């Protein structure tokens, strides 16, 4: 039931974003949506949710789809924490392009995430953050292979994990597990 | 700098992204290995999406921005397909 | 000079700076992996500022024009944001696919101080 609700709300939001500004009125609120588009949005989202509920519920065995709040948390994470780190990463790369001071290397880390969705979120997050790029993913040993443009100092595995992904492992765990 | 309208400012931005496209075309031409060329291709795709967004504001044509969305998704699929193809071949220098 | 023109000039300048920086990193760095670092991060950030500039333009024009024409500027603003979301979702996984393919073909990272990659069977 919660899977159904999550798919319904997601499809509704995407459809409404795509048809925003279709209204005939003269003020902002009436310009936003016309009644026809609102009815079509609800009908299409219901249809999509009814058809794909069983398939997606079976294929994606994760907790994320069972709770609409997690979807909201994902959007919040993308537009606050992640954008901040994206800006930081760009200043870092700008410094390295201008000075040419690089110290690259390939390391393996073990984030300890259980679900595939969590690993996907983590891998895509650290690709756009300071100086790291996911090269390969080892599902059996639960390890990520990462190209690090400026290999820092680390003594043990925990410091290495902290240096590579910062707060992202915690966020991925919070969203997907 | 007397009559610099908003649309002209955005047009200047698209020109600058076009210069970036020419430079990455150079890397596409030079690139020693084929993954280098794919990287240049990917950068060009992102720049094309930026240019389309800017031009749709300049001409006030909303259709261009829808094309930009579809172009971003399709170029992603093509990048994945080329990467999959390259990943299955062994490459010696060049 | 209007305030909005100055804001737009700053946004477009930032967009140009980061995009060209990414492209010059593409020309300057020694191997595939470092080039990927430069292009994915910097061009994504450059198009973010382009999108913000277009959204500012859309909002300002929305307030200027007659009411029967305002709907198209709502569409412009919202769809610019959606195009950015599309870039944001697709760019990192494309970079990941290219890096994986490059490593599978056997390209070693240059100037590497550490290399813990083994072939994943």
Using an 8 Å CB-CB cutoff, list chain A residues near C79: 18
pLDDT at C32 over 80: yes
Q: What is the mean pLDDT of residues B75-90?
A: 85
The answer on A114 and A77 residing in a single domain is yes
Q: Are residues A131 and A47 in the same domain?
A: no
- The residue whose two tokens read 């760095």 is C29
Per-residue pLDDT at A99:
84
Mean pLDDT of the region B3-30: 87
The distance of Cα B91 from the centroid of its chain, to the nearest Å, equals: 26
What confidence score (pLDDT) does residue A155 get? 67
Q: Same domain, yes or no, for A52 and A95?
A: no
Chain A nearest-CA distance from C12, in A, is 16
**pLDDT number for residue B92:** 52
Stretch B15-19: mean pLDDT: 91
Question: Phi first, then psi: what are they for C66, rounded to 5°?
Answer: -70, 160
Indicate if A78 and A45 belong to the same structural domain.
Answer: no
Domain end: A18, A39, A59, which one?
A59
Same domain as A134, residue A92:
yes
Flag whether pLDDT at B77 surpasses 90.
yes
C13 pLDDT tier (thresholds 50, 70, 90): very high
Picking from A56, A77, A75, A76, the residue whose alpha carbon sits closest to that of residue A66 is A56
Say if residue A81 is in the same domain as residue A145: yes
Q: Angle at Cα A60 formed by Cα A56 and Cα A64, nearest 5°?
A: 100
Residue of C nearest to B29 (CA): C27
Query: C interface mutation test: which of B10, B48, B92 has the most C CBs within 10 A?
Result: B10
Q: Which of B76-80, C90-94, C108-112 has the lowest mean pLDDT?
A: C108-112
Domain count, chain A: 2
What is the pLDDT at residue A105? 78
Q: So what's the pLDDT on residue B2?
A: 56
Q: What is the DSSP letter of A65?
A: G
The tens digit of pLDDT for each residue in A32-86 reads 788 888 898 899 999 988 888 777 766 665 566 666 677 778 888 888 888 888 8
In order, the DSSP letters of A24-36 are: --SSHHHHH--HH
Nearest to A93 by CA among C10, C43, B13: C43
Rounded Cα gap, residues A81 and A123, in angstroms: 15
DSSP codes, C22-35: HHHHHHHSSSHHHH
Which residues are A133's β-sheet partners? A147
Q: Is C70 in Cβ contact with A31 (below 8 Å)?
A: yes
Q: How many whole angstroms separate alpha carbon B81 and alpha carbon B79?
A: 5
Using the 3D structure, point to which of A16, A37, A59 is the last residue of a domain: A59
- DSSP sequence for B10-45: HHHHHHHHHHHHHHHHHHHHH-SSHHHHHHHHHHHH
Touching chains, B (3+ CB pairs < 8 A): C
Give per-residue pLDDT as tens, A3-38.
788 888 888 888 888 888 777 777 777 777 888 888
* Triad A81, A90, A14: Cα angle to 5°: 50
User: Cβ separation of C79 and B66 shorter than 8 Å?
Assistant: yes
pLDDT, position B76: 92
Claim to verify: residue A51 and residue A83 sit in the same structural domain:
no
Both tokens assigned to B4: 């610099």
Res. C1: pLDDT tops 90: no
Query: Domain boundary at A59, A76, A107, which?
Result: A59
pLDDT at residue C16 greater than cutoff 70: yes
Q: What is the pLDDT of residue B93?
A: 46
Chain B CB contacts of C14 below 8 Å: none
Convert the pLDDT of each residue in A86-127 to its tens digit: 888 888 888 888 887 777 778 777 777 777 777 788 888 887
pLDDT tens for C62-95 read: 888 777 777 788 888 888 889 988 888 888 888 8
| Whether pLDDT at B62 is above 90 | no
The confidence band for C121, taking pLDDT boundaries of 50, 70 and 90, is very low
**Same domain, yes or no, for A157 and A111?**
yes
Q: How confident is the model at residue A43, as a pLDDT?
A: 92
**What is the domain range of residue A31?**
2-59
Instruction: Of C4, C25, C8, give the one whose Cα is nearest residue B12.
Output: C8
- Return the pLDDT at B75: 92
- Residue C15: other Cβ atoms inside 10 A: 27
Query: What average pLDDT does the segment B49-77 reach?
Result: 90
Tokens representing A11 are: 């499809």
How does DSSP classify residue A108? E
């Amino acid at each position: 039931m919660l899977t159904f609700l999550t798919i319904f709300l997601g499809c509704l939001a995407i459809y409404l974003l795509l048809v925003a500004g279709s209204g005939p009125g003269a003020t902002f609120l009436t310009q936003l949506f016309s009644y026809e588009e609102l009815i079509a949005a609800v009908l299409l989202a219901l249809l999509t949710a009814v058809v794909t509920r069983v398939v997606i519920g079976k294929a994606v065995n994760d907790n994320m789809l069972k709770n609409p709040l997690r979807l909201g948390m994902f959007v919040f994470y993308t537009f606050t924490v992640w954008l901040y780190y994206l800006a930081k990463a760009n200043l870092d790369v700008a410094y390295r392009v201008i000075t040419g001071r690089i110290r690259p290397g390939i390391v393996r880390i073990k984030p300890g995430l259980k679900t595939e969705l969590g690993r996907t979120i983590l891998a895509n997050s650290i690709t756009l953050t300071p100086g790291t790029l996911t090269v390969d993913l080892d599902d059996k040993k639960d390890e990520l292979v990462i190209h690090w443009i400026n290999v820092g100092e680390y003594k043990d595995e925990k410091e290495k994990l902290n240096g590579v992904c910062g707060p992202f492992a915690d966020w991925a765990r919070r969203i997907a597990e | 700098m007397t009559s610099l309208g908003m649309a002209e400012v955005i047009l200047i931005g698209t020109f600058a992204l076009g210069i970036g496209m020419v430079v990455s075309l150079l890397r596409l031409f030079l690139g020693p290995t084929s993954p280098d060329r794919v990287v240049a291709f990917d950068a060009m795709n992102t720049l094309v999406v930026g240019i389309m967004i800017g031009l749709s504001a300049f001409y006030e044509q909303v259709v261009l921005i829808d094309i930009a969305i579809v172009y971003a998704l399709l170029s992603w699929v093509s990048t994945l397909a080329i990467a999959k193809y390259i990943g299955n071949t062994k490459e010696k220098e060049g | 000079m209007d305030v909005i023109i100055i804001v737009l000039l700053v946004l477009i300048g930032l967009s140009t700076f980061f995009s060209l920086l990414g492209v010059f990193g593409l020309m300057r760095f020694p191997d595939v992996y470092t080039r990927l670092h430069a292009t994915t991060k910097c061009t994504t950030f450059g198009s973010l500022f382009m999108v913000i500039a277009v959204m500012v333009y859309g909002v300002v024009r929305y307030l200027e024009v007659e009411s029967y024409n305002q709907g198209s500027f709502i569409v412009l603003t919202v769809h610019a944001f959606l195009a950015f979301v599309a870039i944001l979702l697709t760019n990192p996984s494309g970079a990941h696919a290219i890096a994986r393919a490059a490593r599978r073909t056997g390209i070693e990272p240059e100037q590497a101080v550490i290399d813990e990659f083994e072939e994943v069977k």
